[in-house]
Structure 1
Amino acid sequence: MVDSESVKSSYPKSITTSAQDDRGSMEKKQSVQQRVDSFESGEVETVIDKNIEKSALKKMDLVISPIIGFLYLMAFLDRSNIGNASVAGMSDSLKLYNERFNVAISIFYVLYILVETPSVILVKYVRPSRMLAFISLAWSIVVLSSGFVSSYGGLIITRLILGLLEGCLFPALSLYLTTVYSREEQCQRLSYLFCASGLAGAFGGLFAYALEQVHVGNMAGWQWIYIVEGLISFIGVPLSLFLLPDNIEKSWFLNPQERQVARLRNEANLRYLGQQKFDWQEVRKSFKDPKIYVSAVSQFCADMVLYGFSSFLPTIVKDLGFTGLQSNYMTIPVYVSGVLAFLVVAYASDRTKIRSPFLISASLVSAVGYVILIASNSNAAKFTACFIVAIGCYIGPGMNLGWLNNNVAGHYKRATAIGIQQTIANSSGIIAGQIYQSKSAPRYILGHSFTLGCVLVGLIGYIVLLFSLRYANNKRDERCARGMFDPTLTGDYADDFRYFL
């Protein structure tokens, strides 16, 4: 006997009787009643062998997650290695005095935020594998070239180009995951990306310290940081081009039965995936959707926490009395605690199919951490507060993005929504580089206070989204119970679509 289960989509699908026989009003009544029953259950069933599905998901995770994780790991290393290079002597070589270093950090986000929306809309046109391979190739060349810059102007140019290229990456990865995994599977896979950035933060300093000790020819240690990391980034090109599937139904690593399961899963999520043909109407819908802007404001606040956290953590550790290699070691458990917290919470969130309670809780935890950082003069207390902040700083940006992805239906509307959210959110990178300035060290009262305010504003955004989406779901339940279906409503506005809360 086949071991199977019903794969249930998170929206109900219309069920109609055969249209080949003209049976008049009786069939219409029967169709409406079936659809009402489907609405009340909130699900549509597609019979799939659960063992085959489990096998397919395992293969997808083993192939896709390491590739996209590697890409984001190297991207995060390559954008943040400017800090390590500065400590290794770049500031003296390129005369990064006064506010020049802060400008070099912030300038990265100028083109980064401008390309996010148009680039993510193009993903399906270009094909994910080709687009990601090209981005990897181009940014690897830029990072490698950064090791040979000899002036402040040259550094600014490479930072601008790097921002332009990396701005295309994360939205593309996020959108790609929504085409591969169902809504209730996505948050856990997004957590792998943020796990990669956490690992970059934890071990990037140690890796840079090792490269700093390299003295070959006339090249300084900071130059080798760029050169070696740029060369490693080239690995992402063949990984993306030859191993990453553009269409999960035709994946090279799935057997015929597993490909059939992938096809059935896509059919069950047809409303969510949307039409494959580009439609400007879908793009316009995103720009008119209020929930996307509320999500974007909360994402801005969450990213402010993440970017600010990476700025002040080394200083907190330094003030504890650790220097050099020791300080790099001391930051590792802080980053790891944040990564582990997100992995656990993302798993629980996917299992329960809820997002907002975890986001609200993470915000409250981060707020407590910042209050301690502002109020305490104790280095031990401040270091403890870093762990508290870390628990919330990855959950916020990762899960809020996943929540948006879950609640926007239709490929091109979702692509545009991701671009809008990330464009607004990543502008926080420009601000974070300015509010955490060296002259306010070691306490960073202004930076911590501003970031605490962002945490609270983001928290309000999560609560507003929760109640507005719950209200929308309840109204749709009422209409469905009365058999009132508006066929003109499509995507996530349709009567048969339910938002994740």
Structure 2
Amino acid sequence: MSEAISPMSTEEEKGGSLTSPRLSYASEVVDPRRILRKLDWHLLPFVSILYLLSFLDRANIGNAKVAGLTTDLHLTGIQYNWCSAVFFLPYAFLEVPSNMALKLLRPSRWIPFIMVSWGIVMLSMAFVKSFRGLLAVRIFLGITEAGLFPGVTFYLCLWYPRAAQAQRVSIFLSAATVAGAFGGILAFGIERMDGIGGLAGWSWIFLLEGLLTVVVSVLSFFFMYDDPETASFLTTEEREWLLSTLKEDTAGSSKSFQWKFLTHALTDPYTYLYMFLYFFIALSAYSFALFLPTIITGLGYSAAHAQLLSIPPYVIGCLFTVACGVLSDRWRMRGPFVLLGALAGLAGYAILFATTKAVVGYVGVLIASCGIFPATACVLAWTGGNTGGDVKRGVVIAMTIGLGNIGGFAASFIYRTQDSPRYHPGHATNIGCLAAVAVLSAVGMYALHRVNRQKQLQVERSGITAEMAEEFSELGDKSPLYRYTL
């Protein structure tokens, strides 16, 4: 482009990137879709397995509870809640330092290292004998797992253009729903090992799942790639196209760490919009994961049936998460999927709150899973895609997920033993959180739409062209050429 950019098209308004001659030429030499498929095959399966194991290991305490953990350790209701909750305190506060370490060190070394660490901690959980022992191990699990989720979310943003991120983040996050289903199946089978080797069934849950984590973590040292610049599976032309696309798509890569980028993250009001969106949706998602077997038991089903009935909600949640990710990328919009997901989750919890019938309540569980998990994925894709510059993006993603895990801490206390079997306070809390997500997503879409319009007016009045992008690269997403995704 040699002339000023014309008024925004629909694609630009939704967050489409502005095409430069360099990218147009590159797209004639290489096939962008083939490049994305290569990235998918080389990155997504492995990082999804990593997150599956991470979510499995943090949430399996819910399956262990149903398998007799609280009885054998003589835990009161509040003691179990504390053991669930304490994981999230170090997890939340160590995410920003961990993402900064990921930026300074090699992902192919940092991520496997933290994974080996939490696998060893999970193995030790099989041998706890008291409330204090379980509490201590859960603290160390939070410390060691802290870097995986924000690290991989940031890692994916380093590889994929914004218009392709939601689908990939959704596939990555769908591993959590697979973990929920997989965890239910594993728990149902492993629980039958009660007494083998002198260990209780719940001990075998921790032991075997921890061992699986350690094995995969060792393999990850050999299978992870650091960044597009070192991707041996891409040709030289493909690598050049991807790097140039990412640079222009994110308005400057800011690869070197500078304190001003941390300041940009802390002073940007949209950082706090994403943080509170994720706080409320994460509270609902974590309460769902931690207490689903308990909620199903409260509907009148046996403990064994509760383990099995916890599988379908995760399967349905997985399908809806991937579908929403695909549609979100196709339409280049995030907010509407967050809004609709929040409303679906709200409807599910409203049914659980109102009904006394087991089947109707279980339908409410299924509806809630259709909304909570897709909304969670789209909030994270919205956050990463609307934050320009590698350093700022890494900090904002970590801050967002960090506050979200404070939501996980709160979620550990909303389903109390004394509230069984209806659990009205827990369901009401989730209804309120999901209503907040719906309101914040609507406000966010309106605010981002206004900013995009203001930027377009600035471009038109000042005669700014796409060739001038380098001049604004230090501004990141504040560049007049950068369009936020709604």
What is the TM-score when the length of structure 1 is the normalising length? 0.89
Shift of 1:454: 0.9
Tell me, yes or no, if structure 1 residue 240 matches structure 2 residue 220: yes
Alignment of 1:2-41 (within 5 A): 34-37=2-5
Establish whether residue 377 from structure 1 lines up as the match of residue 356 from structure 2.
yes
Residue aligning to 1:277: 256
Residue 430 to residue 35, structure 1, CA distance change in 2 (3 Å): same
What displacement does 1:225 show?
1.4
Report the Cα offset of residue 384 of structure 1. 1.2
For residues 102-251 of structure 1, what are the structure 2 equivalents within 5 Å? Answer: 102-214=81-193, 215-251=195-231
Structure 1 counterpart of 2:19, which letter? V
Alpha carbon RMSD of aligned pairs, Å?
A: 2.0
Q: Gaps spanning 5+ residues in structure 1: where? A: 1-14, 16-33
Cα distance, 1:332–1:85 mapped onto 2, change above 3 Å: closer
TM superposition shift of 1:257: 4.2
Equivalent of 1:346 in 321, 325, 335: 325
Change (3 A) 1:381 1:216: closer
Q: CA deviation at 1:319?
A: 4.5
In structure 2, relative to structure 1, the CA distance for the partners of 1:264 and 1:294 (3 Å cut) is closer
Contact (CA 8 Å) 1:38, 1:44: kept in 2 or not?
Answer: no
Structure 1 residue 445 displacement after superposition? 0.9
Deviates more, 1:208-217 or 1:415-424: 208-217
Which position in structure 2 is the counterpart of 1:314?
Answer: 293
Q: How does 1:407-418 map to 2 (within 5 A)?
A: 407-418=386-397
State the structure with bigger RCO (CA 8 A, min sep 6), 1 or 2. Answer: 2
Q: CA deviation at 1:317?
A: 2.9
Q: Offset at 1:51?
A: 6.1
Describe the SS at the equivalent of 1:271. coil
| Inter-partner Cα distance in structure 2 for 1:406 and 1:424 | 19
Per the alignment, in what secondary structure is the counterpart of residue 300 of structure 1?
helix
Match of 1:95 in 2: 74
CA distance in 2, matches of 1:311, 1:266: 37
Query: Is 2:12 aligned against 1:44?
Result: no
1:158-178 deviation digits (Å, cap 9, x = unpaired) = 100110111111010010000
Aligned to 2:15: none
Q: 1:267 to 1:432 in 2, by over 3 A?
A: closer
Structure 1 residue 67: Cα displacement: 1.0
- Rounded Cα–Cα distance in structure 2 between residues aligned with 1:35 and 1:157: 63
Partner of 2:245: 265
Measured in 1, the distance between the counterparts of 2:247 and 2:343 equals: 39
Aligned equivalents of 1:96 and 1:391: distance in 2?
Answer: 33
- Kindly tell me the number of residue pairs found equivalent between the two proteins: 468
**Alignment map for 1:465-484 (pairs within 5 Å):** 465-483=444-462
Name the CA distance, whole Å, in 2 between partners of 1:313 and 1:229: 19
Corresponding residue to 2:47 among 56, 61, 68: 68
Could you tell me how far apart the structure 1 residues matched to 2:287 and 2:431 are?
11
C-alpha contact (below 8 Å) 2:299/2:421 kept by paired residues = no
Unaligned ranges ≥5, structure 2: 13-17
Shift of the 435–267 alpha-carbon distance from structure 1 to 2, 3 Å rule, reads closer
Q: Secondary structure at the match of 1:434?
A: coil
Select the residue among 255, 264, 283 that pairs with 1:304. 283
The whole-number CA distance in structure 2 between the counterparts of 1:237 and 1:314 is 28
Give the direction of change, closer, same or farther, for the CA distance of 1:316–1:149 in structure 2 (3 Å limit). Answer: closer
What is the SS of the residue equivalent to 2:67? helix
Matches within 5 A, 1:483-494: 483=462, 490-494=475-479
**Alpha-carbon separation, structure 2, partners of 1:261 and 1:238:** 32
Q: CA deviation at 1:119?
A: 1.1
Name the SS of the counterpart of 2:4 in structure 1.
Answer: helix
Judging changes above 3 Å, is the alpha-carbon distance between structure 1 residues 192 and 268 closer, same or farther for their aligned structure 2 residues?
same
Look up the match of 1:6. none
Deviations 1:409-445 (A, max 9, x none): 0111111111211121110111111111121112111
Which of the pair has more CA radius of gyration? 1
- The answer to whether the 8 Å contact 1:186/1:350 transfers is yes
Shift of 1:132: 0.5
**Which amino acid is the alignment partner of residue 234 of structure 1?**
V
Once residues 450 and 221 of structure 1 are traced to their aligned partners in structure 2, the CA distance between those partners, rounded to angstroms, is 32
| Counterparts of 2:61 and 2:5, CA distance in 1 | 58
Q: Which amino acid counterpart does residue 205 of structure 2 have in structure 1?
A: I
Contact 1:301-1:458 within 8 A present in 2 as well = yes
Pairwise CA distance, 1:208:
1.8
Deviates more, 1:145-154 or 1:435-444: 145-154
Distance 2:482 2:244 in 1: 19
Go from structure 1 to structure 2 and tell me whether the alpha carbon gap of 1:149 and 1:50 turns closer, same or farther (over 3 Å shift).
farther
**Of 146-155 and 394-403, the range deviating more from structure 2:** 146-155
Instruction: Tell me the secondary structure at the aligned position of residue 449 of structure 1.
Output: helix
- Tell me the amino acid that sits aligned with residue 454 of structure 1: C
**Identical aligned pairs, as a percentage?**
32
C-alpha distance in structure 2 between counterparts of 1:40 and 1:355, whole Å:
19
CA distance in 1, matches of 2:203, 2:350: 39
233-242 vs 458-467, greater mean Cα deviation: 233-242
TM-score w.r.t. length of structure 2: 0.91
Aligned AA for 1:365?
A
Deviation (angstroms), 1:304: 1.4
Q: Distance in 2 between matches of 1:422 and 1:60?
A: 24
Rounded to whole Å, the distance in 2 between the matches of 1:446 and 1:263 is 50
Match of 2:58 among 79, 83, 93: 79
1:122-175 Cα deviation digits (max 9, x unpaired): 212111111111011101111111112222222111100110111111010010
My pick for the range that moved more, 430-439 or 484-493, is 484-493
Query: What secondary structure, in the 3-state scheme, does the structure 2 residue paired with 1:234 have?
Result: helix
Mapped contact 1:367–1:452 kept (Cα < 8 A): yes
> Which residue matches 1:449?
428
Partner Cα separation in structure 2 for residue 413 and residue 219 of structure 1 = 47
**8 Å CA contact retained: 1:360, 1:459:** yes
Partner of 1:252: 232
